[in-house]
Chains A and B, each alone.
Chain A
């Protein structure tokens, strides 16, 4: 019987052609399979459970801001090797080639439906968007620029945690970024955090948790400690929904959960609600 069922499924996916198997997306949340083309069409949202998958920083920027409004900051900034960690440079060279990124965050100015803002987007393809010197410096500069120019900041966060290859220097980026957020905030600037999959570790324990408004995408992972670390500490399996956006929302750490297709319009409304209108209007 299961065999029969399996045949039906493959037939449907294959459109009757036994040789052709379209690439499939396996959802990390519901484990469901769907055609990759459908998942891509939805800008990487699982058609079955609404899990919001990972986007590259470039994709994120292009679906969020007004066309051709992006002016990038510090695009050439690259990390050095502060603790002389073996093979750190080589690993980064390889990643730069593969991703076209110089490190795990892109920052700059843009407009969203006419409202000007400073925007930062982390990219999990680059060393799991861990926070090292470059991530820390670019984010601190983005907030300082926004403070000096009276602009709001929108940060799309994602991170697997610390950049271990930078040791204690990585940890100190939490203080550097949180300090810059505070400086911007004390001058009355609006800061909107958009938590994306996965936002964990030192990023959660610094700028990601400091937004005036904290938004999350559905079904994404948000936490301080990693799931496995907690399971090892408490010696039991965690429930499946632990640390998902909806869980953190219930616990009171998130203002709203917003779907990707509505994000641009929600951000635009929030910017305008805080008085950041079109230039000259």
Chain B
């Protein structure tokens, strides 16, 4: 049963509850998984994990943005804000998934790509652009799931997919409500107001054609019952992955292109 909450309440819920992270979900959804490291170009970005494992016995590739569960974990994973090498690691593993005919499952959970000197020097724009373009034609099924927050281009770098699912309280936005308020109204303190007009909830995403599915959370939110939310995510994946794997890949790619191609509102 889904609950009625405002966007602002959902933001609070995602940020202030010790919400489960990919590290909580991995052992409950997948088996036999091995983490893979590095982009083979620069380094290993701890904000993005990549793994090969099994879903219901079927080999899959998993790419995820990692939030820390405490300040020490967050220092290591940079609060889930990837550098360019995180996106390049993702692309390397995505291509590997294509090579070995494994479906790709992406978990999105980031406030955004990191904004810093090194990130610019190493080509953040190019890294995200390339992932978007390459994922669009990757010849294997891609499912993306937003766990908590999906911020801007940093989310879209793992967000080109055949189907996008949102956890019930998750949000997807073009920038943070705080950034939105400060740019548009020159007043960051109006973030709550911004969050309500920006259309960032899971329901908004389905209505706007960005997401296809909402994964129900336990009463009060994902943190209240880790087993239950893991089961719900797994149930969704167990149904959607075989379905996409059965499809002719050229049909799947055409549908993937069309999914994004048709988003927009204009008159002629």
Query: Is chain B found bound to chain A in the same assembly?
Result: yes
Q: List residues of B (217-268) whose CB comes within 8 Å of A's CBs.
A: 257, 260-261, 263-268
* Cα of A252 to Cα of B122 in the assembled complex, Å: 9
Structural contact, A205 and B153, CB atoms closer than 8 A: yes
**Contact assessment for B132 and A174 in the assembled complex, using a CB-CB cutoff below 8 Å:** yes
Besides the contacts A133-B264, A186-B137, what 19 more A-B pairs have beta carbons closer than 8 Å?
A77-B266, A77-B268, A78-B268, A80-B265, A82-B265, A164-B174, A166-B265, A174-B156, A205-B128, A205-B132, A205-B157, A208-B125, A209-B130, A225-B115, A225-B116, A230-B116, A238-B117, A242-B117, A253-B123
Most-contacted residue by chain B among A83, A85, A226 (CB, 10 A): A83
The answer to whether residues A176 and B260 also contact, given A83-B197, A209-B129, A251-B123 and a CB cut-off of 8 A, is yes
* Tier of interface size on chain B: 35 or more
In the complex where A175-B159, A178-B129, A178-B132 touch, is A167 in contact with B199 (Cβ < 8 A)? yes
A137 to B226, CA, bound (A): 41
Interface residues of B (CB under 8 A from A): 113-117, 119-126, 128-130, 132-134, 136-137, 152-153, 156-157, 159-160, 172-175, 179-180, 183-184, 197-200, 204-205, 208, 210, 257, 260-261, 263-268
Pair A169/B132 contact, Cβ less than 8 Å: no
A139-181 CB mask vs B (1 if < 8 Å, else 0) is 0100000000000000000000010101111111111101111
Which 4 A-B pairs give the minimum distances between C-beta atoms?
A: A204-B125, A133-B264, A225-B115, A80-B265
The residue that B129 contacts in the complex, of A169, A186, A207, A234, with Cβ under 8 A, is A207
Q: For chain A, which range describes its interface: under 10, 10 to 19, 20 to 34, or 35 or more residues?
A: 35 or more
Q: Is the CB of A224 within 8 A of B120?
A: yes
In whole angstroms, how far apart are the Cα atoms of A206 and B124 in the complex? 11
How far in angstroms is the closest Cβ of chain A from B201?
10
- In the bound assembly, the distance between CA atoms of A208 and B157 in angstroms comes to 15
